[in-house]
Amino acid sequence: MTRKIIIDTDPGQDDALAILLALGAPELDILGITCVAGNVPLALTTINARKICELAGRPDIKVFAGCDRPLERTLVTAEHVHGKTGLDGVDLPEPMMPLQPEDAVSFIIDSLRAASDRSITLVPIGPLTNIATALQRAPDIAPKIAEIVLMGGAYFEVGNITPTAEFNIYVDPEAAQIVFGAGIPLTVMPLDVTHKAVTYPEWVEGFRAQGTELGLAVAGWTGFFERFDKEKYGSQGAPLHDPCTIAYLIAPDLFSGRHINVEIEVSSPLTLGMTVADWWGVTDRAANATFMKDIDANGFFALLTERISALPGR
């Protein structure tokens, strides 16, 4: 039985690999891809999502434009990591497939209202603005959501955009607070996991050696993305943050973590956007999220290779 999902994204090279992995997963039924401002502004994330779908040979996927700014704050973007387009590293043609006329938030609401209870999984891999807006506008959709599997936050790895905050949560902490407080089953892929999913030269070169447009794109994106993390962390490659969410949906045994309480800091100028994870159970706050900590990295990269390599391409 396939799992119905909506991917909410701000592509991003690692978002691109997450989308490709999902498109290569017969276990998943992608109802649509909703775009949000984050790594780059909304106008670029909507273009990038369609480029990725076309590259994979899936122009049938519906792509929707969502929120172009956080709920209460000025948009912070990450061109310093992803380049000016968000998908620097390979040149792809402008997409031919159209944006859907419906806005992303309305699509999320309409899809959930038409579904049976606990039947659709939301997979946000950017800031949580679209998801929070949908929950604010239509609180009746919460029971229809099977699970929210998101990339965001950190505990042991602290922050990557400030000393204490991970980028996706920091961009819209108020939205994250709404999502984490909604009483919906949450699975969180924080930096603690994603920093263990680090690319390595043989893996990148394996895609390059395929010689296909798809293989060259994966190698080009990863090569561009790596340069920032190699300089910042001294690592051998780049952490593939967002594909961890899709890998979990396909092969949950690759991951392990704890069901704990996670709160979002929204007021402190020092720790704004921090995911305050009660890993050691030192408070009496009720658990609200499965917060992952470890990954079978070899299994993860084998899964990526197998599924992305099997895509038809255009």
**Domain boundaries, given as residue ranges, for the chain:** 3-308
Q: Which helix (H) or strand (E) holds 298?
A: helix 297-309
Which CATH fold topology does 3-308 show?
Inosine-uridine Nucleoside N-ribohydrolase; Chain A (3.90.245)
Q: Which of 80, 82, 241, 259 is catalytic?
A: 241
Q: Please state whether the predicted TM-score (pTM) of the whole model is above 0.95.
A: yes
Is 241 considered catalytic here?
A: yes
CA–CA–CA angle 69, 147, 114 (5° rounding): 80
pLDDT tens for the chain, 314 residues long, are 899 999 999 999 999 999 999 999 999 999 999 999 999 999 999 999 999 999 999 999 999 999 999 999 999 999 988 999 999 999 999 999 999 999 999 999 999 999 999 999 999 999 999 999 999 999 999 999 999 999 999 999 999 999 999 999 999 999 999 999 999 999 999 999 999 999 999 999 999 999 999 999 999 999 888 776 666 667 778 899 999 999 999 999 999 999 999 999 999 999 999 999 999 999 999 999 999 999 999 999 999 999 999 999 88
Residue 163 makes CB contacts below 8 A (sequence gap 6+) with: none
CB-based contact 176:223 (threshold 8 Å): no
